[in-house]
Amino acid sequence: MSTPQRRPATGVIAQLLAAPHRFGFFQAVRLLERWLVHGTEQGPSQGLERRLRFRNSLSLGFPASEIEALRVRRRQEGTADAVEPGDVECIEVTPAFMGLLGSHGTLPLYYTETLARREAFRKDLAARAFLDIFQQRAVSLFYQAWKKHRLALQYEADRDNRFLPVVLALAGLGQAALRHRLRGGDGGVHDESLACFAGMLQQRTVPPGALRQLLCEYFGVPVEIEPFVGHWYPLPETAATRLGMRHGVLGLDAVMGPRVWQRDLRLRVVLGPLDGRTFQRFLPRGSGAQALEKLLTLLTGVTLEYEIRLRLRKEDALGVTLGGTDPGPARPVAHRLGWNTFLRTCPETRDRDDAVYEIHATS
């Protein structure tokens, strides 16, 4: 709770309207166009076209800042100090660094002097208003050209239709039919996350080190990758060697037994050490487990099998007894024997990694 002597915080827009000379031109226009469309369905470009007006300067002095003046025209004149976007009819901005008139204008100084006398002695604003038509177009295009190749601003203005599809296209996911495919369910993966790893997703083969880095950054947990994990796979009866068959040369192509040992089809992913809540998310059918399966499928398809091993911190390895009470608010994780709960006679001295399940397993 703030103290009574504390000054109330002043918003950025209020500071801009009170002292526009303290802001750069591009930053000021960016703040104004986002503020004017706040709470509406209009885009920032519509706010720039409809409610921002750029005027010519009549000053012949040296410009002290990029903005000479800023004036707010309200729909209804009131006494309230605070200005809301809905009350603003338009905002007039007078840049000091470009235009048709003024010390940096493209027209001769004679025009500036003439229009200044007409406004001062005759109150004639028509000539300047006519030139402001060209000023509005020129300054608007100048600002849009500045913003066009700044991807961060494009993402800020329209993240779904401008910046995001371009980055997703680097990973081959820019088509409309491929958008938002992994977002459904509890463990949804948003397109913004895929765009973050677009450079990695465009590779035909993802090395174990890159896969570990991707999973670490996305889930925020320690990850270890162990490639070439051996596993027994059943052998079809037609592939086994039998008496009377051809091409059964011992040591060459003869096979005995119902199964074969292979190391090129399985990868082990070790997550942890994890706390109790995070461990619960990565259990089968949990949100973390679903997101993990979607990411692994996107990276390698169904060509590899994954053995997921969860490592639980020893502090969160629960003990259970018959007739035991509920863990309570301090330990809200439910008991699951063999996963996060174990029969023990003393506190754990090491992290438990007994929880193992498979993804895309064929045997």
Which string of DSSP letters, residue by residue, matches 91-150?
EEEEESSSSSSSTT-SS-HHHHHHHHHIIIII---HHHHHHHHHHHHHHHHHHHHHHHT-
Domain that holds residue 20: 12-157
Asked, for residue 3, whether it belongs to a domain, the answer is no
Q: What angle do CA 11, 13, 16 make, to 5 degrees?
A: 115
Number of domains in the chain: 3
Same domain, 16 and 141: yes
Query: Residues 219, 289: one domain?
Result: yes
- Is residue 126 assigned to a domain? yes
111 and 29, same domain (yes or no): yes
Domain-located, residue 5: no
Percent of the chain with pLDDT over 90: 44
Residues 231 and 354 in one domain: yes
Q: Which of 35-49, 155-169, 308-322 has the lowest mean pLDDT?
A: 35-49
Question: What torsion, rounded to 10 degrees, do the Cα atoms 177, 178, 184, 190 define?
Answer: -130
Distance of CA 256 to the CA centre of its chain: 54
Does one domain contain both 304 and 324?
yes
pTM here is: 0.69
The reply to whether 293 and 220 lie within a common domain is yes
Interval 327-355 mean pLDDT = 72
For 227-361, strand residue ranges (E) read: 231-234, 259-262, 266-274, 305-312, 318-319, 341-342, 352-359
Same-domain status, 192 and 225: no
Lowest mean pLDDT of 75-79, 95-99, 253-257, 269-273, name the range: 75-79
> Is the residue at 94 inside a domain?
yes
DSSP class of residue 238? G
pLDDT band at 155 (very low <50, low <70, confident <90, very high): confident
The dihedrals phi and psi of 322, each to the nearest 5 degrees, come to -65, 130
Residue 307 sits in the same domain as residue 265: yes
CA neighbor of 18 nearest in space, from 97, 96, 80, 81: 81
Cβ neighbours of residue 323 under 8 Å, at least 6 residues apart?
Answer: none
Indicate if 48 and 126 belong to the same structural domain: yes
Residue 262 lies in a domain: yes
185 and 212 share one domain: no
In a domain, 65, yes or no: yes
Q: Domain boundary residue among 157, 175, 190?
A: 157
224, 197: one domain: no
Examine residue 108 and say whether the peptide bond preceding it is cis (omega within 30 degrees of 0).
Answer: no
In a domain, 4, yes or no: no
Same domain as 145, residue 83: yes
